[in-house]
Amino acid sequence: MAARPRVPEAFVAWLWTQEVGATLTTTDGQRVQVVYPGRRYGSWGPDFHGALLAIGDRLTRGDVEIHVHGRDWTQHRHAGDPAYDDTVLHVVLEQGRSPLATLADGVAVPTVELSSGIPASAFPSLLARWTHEGSRPPVAAACLSGEEAIARLDRAGMERFRGKVARFEGDMACVSSVQALWAGLLESLGYAANVAPFRALADRVPAVEAEHLVTAGCGQLLEAILLGEAGLLPSQRGRLSYEDYAAAVERAWHASRRGPRSPLGWRWVGARPGNTPVRRVAAAAALIGDAARWPMERHVVAALAELPPRRAASALRALLARSGDSYWQLHGDLDRPLFRPLALIGEQRAADAVVNVVLPWAAALGRSQDTLWIEEAAERVYAAHPPLASNQITRHMALQILGSTRPSFRLAAQRQQGLIHIYRGWCDARDCAACPAGPEPGLGLTFRTM
Q: What is the pLDDT of residue 443?
A: 37
Cα 224 to Cα 370: distance, rounded to the nearest angstrom? 39
Cα 30 to Cα 37: distance, rounded to the nearest angstrom? 17
Does residue 360 share a domain with residue 307? yes
CA distances (Å), 274 to each of 195, 255, 264, in order?
17, 29, 20
Does residue 180 share a domain with residue 103? no
CA distances (Å), 357 to each of 111, 226, 352, 389, in order?
42, 21, 8, 16
State which H helix or E strand residue 44 sits in.
none
**Assigned domain for 331 exists:** yes
Does residue 182 share a domain with residue 325? yes
Q: What is the pLDDT of residue 405?
A: 62
Q: What is the pLDDT of residue 55?
A: 92
Cα 445 to Cα 422: distance, rounded to the nearest angstrom? 8
Q: Where does a domain end: 332, 356, 384? A: 384
Cα 86 to Cα 439: distance, rounded to the nearest angstrom? 32
Q: What is the pLDDT of residue 389?
A: 92
pLDDT in tens, the chain (450 residues): 456 678 889 999 999 988 877 889 999 999 999 988 888 876 678 899 888 899 988 889 999 999 999 999 999 888 888 889 899 999 999 998 888 899 988 889 999 999 888 888 888 888 888 887 765 555 555 666 667 888 889 999 999 999 999 999 999 999 999 999 999 999 999 988 899 999 999 999 999 999 999 999 999 999 999 999 999 999 999 888 779 999 999 999 999 999 777 889 998 877 788 899 999 999 999 999 998 999 999 999 999 999 999 999 999 999 999 999 999 999 999 999 999 999 999 999 999 999 999 999 999 999 999 999 999 999 999 999 999 998 888 888 888 787 766 555 678 999 999 999 998 888 777 677 777 876 554 434 443 333
Q: What is the pLDDT of residue 444?
A: 43
Q: Where does a domain end: 334, 364, 384? A: 384
Q: Where does a domain end: 384, 417, 435? A: 384
**Assigned domain for 83 exists:** yes
Cα 107 to Cα 214: distance, rounded to the nearest angstrom? 50
Q: Is 355 exposed, middle or buried (0-12, 13-18, 19+ CB in 10 A)?
A: buried
Note whether 69 and 98 are within 8 A (CB): yes
Total of domains in the chain? 2
Ramachandran angles phi, psi of 162, nearest 5° = -70, -25
Does residue 106 share a domain with residue 191? no
* Long-range residue pairs from 209-218, CB within 8 A, at least 24 positions apart, any chain: 210/182, 210/288, 210/289, 211/178, 211/288, 211/294, 211/295, 214/288, 214/289, 214/291, 214/294, 215/291
Q: What is the pLDDT of residue 38?
A: 87
Cα 421 to Cα 327: distance, rounded to the nearest angstrom? 39
Does residue 319 share a domain with residue 251? yes
Does residue 179 share a domain with residue 34? no
**Assigned domain for 270 exists:** yes
**Assigned domain for 86 exists:** yes
Amino acid at 446: T
Q: What is the sign of the dihedral through the CA atoms of 140, 144, 148 and 154?
A: negative
Which residues 6+ apart lie within 8 Å of 3 measured at CB?
A: 120
Q: Is residue 59 classed as helix, strand or coil in its secondary structure?
A: strand
Q: What is the pLDDT of residue 347?
A: 95
Domain with 263, as residue range(s), is 171-384
Measured from the Cβ of residue 302, the count of other Cβ atoms closer than 10 Å reads 12
Measured from the Cβ of residue 236, the count of other Cβ atoms closer than 10 Å reads 16
**Assigned domain for 424 exists:** no
Does residue 180 share a domain with residue 102? no
Does residue 188 share a domain with residue 289? yes
> pTM for this structure?
0.81
CA angle 347, 350, 353 (to 5 degrees): 155
Q: Is residue 136 classed as helix, strand or coil in its secondary structure?
A: coil
**Assigned domain for 418 exists:** no
Does residue 117 share a domain with residue 179? no
Q: What is the pLDDT of residue 81?
A: 83
Does residue 326 share a domain with residue 181? yes
Does residue 278 share a domain with residue 176? yes
| 295: preceding bond cis by omega (within 30 degrees) | yes
**Assigned domain for 149 exists:** no
Does residue 120 share a domain with residue 178? no
Q: What is the pLDDT of residue 230?
A: 96
**Assigned domain for 164 exists:** no
Note whether 55 and 30 are within 8 A (CB): yes
Return the exposure string of 205-233: e unless at least 16 CB atoms fall within 10 Å of the residue's CB, then b: bbbeebbebbeeebbbbbbbbbbbbbbbb
Please give the DSSP secondary-structure letter assigned to residue 434: G
